[in-house]
């Protein structure tokens, strides 16, 4: 799976101002709402419900909040680079500044899991995380995700 294909349109955001996990999740929900034409409240509630099961903070400043949403026809994503890391209850207790929000239709199990695995593998790369953090524009971030080949995400 090529994770760049999940980021359609204006799915990459660089934001400032989040001071908490809840605010960061709200930014993800707002972006997803605008892109997918779904209720921001519904998306935010779905993200909070998933977080209640366990933090989606993978460690090393990365979180992959995800949810299943009625109204989607396929797996879609948004990427948010926060200006300042926020406390997130990640597995390593480090704050999060890179958030890859992943959303799937309620009945799409296998594709959702493949997308989660691909995103997790890619975001575990210290080099890739560093390049994301050094990127100063949305176009630069987009180019990094596009450059990720299926072979690179499988490594």
pLDDT digits 0-9 by tens, 17-41: 699 999 999 999 999 999 999 999 9
Q: Which of 17, 1, 23, 29 is nearest to 103 (CA)?
A: 29
Does 93 map to a domain?
yes
Give the pLDDT confidence score for residue 16 in this predicted structure: 65
Please check whether residue 88 is in contact with residue 63, taking contact to mean a CB–CB distance below 8 angstroms: yes
Number of domains present in the structure of the chain: 1
Does 154 map to a domain?
no
Does 80 map to a domain?
yes
Give the pLDDT confidence score for residue 153 in this predicted structure: 41
83 is in which domain, residue-wise? 3-148
Query: What digits encode the pLDDT tens for the residues 46-56?
Result: 999 999 999 99
pTM for the whole thing? 0.91
Maximum Cα interatomic distance, the chain, rounded to a whole number of Å? 37
Does 91 map to a domain?
yes
Instruction: Supply the angle between the helices 126-134 and 109-123 in degrees, to the nearest 10.
Output: 80
Q: Which residues are catalytic?
A: 66
Does 58 map to a domain?
yes
Give the pLDDT confidence score for residue 63 in this predicted structure: 97
Please check whether residue 89 is in contact with residue 55, taking contact to mean a CB–CB distance below 8 angstroms: yes
Pairing outcome for strands 76-86 and 96-104: antiparallel
- Alpha-carbon span 84 to 104, nearest angstrom: 28
Give the pLDDT confidence score for residue 1 in this predicted structure: 64
Give the pLDDT confidence score for residue 10 in this predicted structure: 85
């Amino acid at each position: 799976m090529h994770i760049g294909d999940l980021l359609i349109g204006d799915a990459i955001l660089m934001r400032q101002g989040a001071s908490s996990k809840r605010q960061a999740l709200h930014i993800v929900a707002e972006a997803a709402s605008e892109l997918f034409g779904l209720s921001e409240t519904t998306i935010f509630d779905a993200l909070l419900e998933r977080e209640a099961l366990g933090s989606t903070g993978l460690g090393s400043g990365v979180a992959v909040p995800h949810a299943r949403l009625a109204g989607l026809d396929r797996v879609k994503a948004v990427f948010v680079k926060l200006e300042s890391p926020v406390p997130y209850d990640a597995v390593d207790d480090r704050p999060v500044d890179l958030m890859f929000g992943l959303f799937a239709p309620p009945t799409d199990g296998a594709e959702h899991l493949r997308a989660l695995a691909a995103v997790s593998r890619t975001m575990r790369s210290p080099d890739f995380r560093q390049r994301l953090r050094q990127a100063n524009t949305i176009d630069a971030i987009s180019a990094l995700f596009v450059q990720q080949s299926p072979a690179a995400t499988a490594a």
